[in-house]
Chains A and B, each alone.
Chain A
Amino acid sequence: MLQFLQLLASGIAQGCIYGLLALGFVLIYKATEAINFAQGDLMMLGGFVGLGTSVAMGMPFWIAFLATLIVMFLFGMLMERTVLRPLLGHPSFTVVMVTIGVGFLSRGMVTMIPFWGTETHVLPVPYRDQIVRLGGQGNEGGLVLPTEHLVIIGITVMLILSLYLLFKHTKIGIAMKATSQNQLAAFYMGIPVRRINMMVWGLSAAVSACAGLLLAPITFVHANMGFVGLKAFPAAVIGGFGSIPGALVGGLIIGVVEMFAGFYLPEGFKDIAAYVVVLIMLAVKPTGLFGENLRKRV
Chain B
Amino acid sequence: MKPLLQVERLSIQFGGLKAVENVSFDIWPNEVFSLIGPNGAGKTTIFNMISGLYQPTSGFVTFEGEKITALPPYEIARLGIARTFQNIELFEHATVLQNLLVGRHCHRHTNWLQDLLFTPATRRAELQFRRTVEEVIEFLDLQHYRDQMVAGLPYGVRKVVELGRALAMRPKLLLLDEPSSGLNVEETEEMGFWIEDIKHDLGITVLMVEHDMGLVSHVSDRVLALNQGEMLALGTSAEVQSHPDVVEAYLGGADEDQPASTGAAA
> Which residues of A line the B interface, CB within 8 A?
298
Contacts and interface: CB of A to CB of B under 8 A. Distances in A.
Q: Which applies to chain A's interface (DSSP): helix, strand, loop or mixed?
A: loop
A298 B52 CA distance: 12
B48 interface: yes
A298 B85 CA distance: 7
B52 to A, nearest CB: 12
7 contacts: A298-B44, A298-B48, A298-B53, A298-B85, A298-B86, A298-B87, A298-B89
A293 to B, nearest CB: 10
Contacts of B53: 298
A27 to B, nearest CB: 27
Interface size class of B (residues with CB under 8 A): under 10
Interface in B40-92: 44, 48, 53, 85-87, 89
Interface string B15-54: 0000000000000000000000000000010001000010
Nearest to A298: B85
Interface string B84-106: 01110100000000000000000
A298 B53 CA distance: 9
Contacts of B87: 298
A75 to B, nearest CB: 35
Contacts of A298: 44, 48, 53, 85-87, 89
A102 B53 CA distance: 40
A298 B162 CA distance: 14
Contacts of B85: 298
Contacts of B48: 298
Nearest to B86: A298
A298 B47 CA distance: 10
Ranked nearest first, the 5 interchain pairs of A and B with the lowest CB-CB distance are A298-B85, A298-B89, A298-B87, A298-B86, A298-B53
A61 to B, nearest CB: 50
B46 to A, nearest CB: 13
A246 to B, nearest CB: 20
A195 to B, nearest CB: 30
Nearest to B54: A295
A136 B216 CA distance: 85
A298 B89 CA distance: 8
A283 B86 CA distance: 33
Interface in B162-180: none
A298 B48 CA distance: 8
A55 B216 CA distance: 78
B45 to A, nearest CB: 10
A74 to B, nearest CB: 38
A225 to B, nearest CB: 39
A130 to B, nearest CB: 51
Nearest to B87: A298
Nearest to B14: A295
Contacts of B89: 298
Nearest to B83: A298
Nearest to B44: A298
Nearest to B51: A298
